[in-house]
Amino acid sequence: MDTLTAIKERRSIKKYDPNHKMTDAEIKDLMECALLSPTSFNMQNWRFVVVKNQETKEKLKKAAFNQAQVSDASIVILICGDLKASEKNPQRYWRNTPEKVQEQIVPMISGFYDDKPQLQRDEVMRSSGMAGQNIMLGAKAMGYDTCAMIGFDKDKVAEIVNLPSDYVLSYMIVVGKAIAPANPRSGQLDFSEVVFFDSF
pLDDT tens-digit map of 49-73:
999 999 999 999 999 999 999 999 9
Domains of the chain: 3-180 (3.40.109.10)
**Backbone torsion region of residue 162, taken as left when φ is above 0, otherwise alpha when ψ lies between -120 and 50, otherwise beta:** left
Question: How far from 136 is each of 43, 95, 181, CA to CA, in Å?
Answer: 22, 30, 16
Specify which residues 175 forms β-bridges with: 75, 146
Q: What is the dihedral of CA 23, 25, 31, 35, to 10 degrees?
A: 180
Predicted structure pTM score: 0.96
Give the span between the Cα atoms of 42 and 59, in whole angstroms. Answer: 34
pLDDT tens-digit map of 19-53:
999 999 999 999 999 999 999 999 999 999 999 99
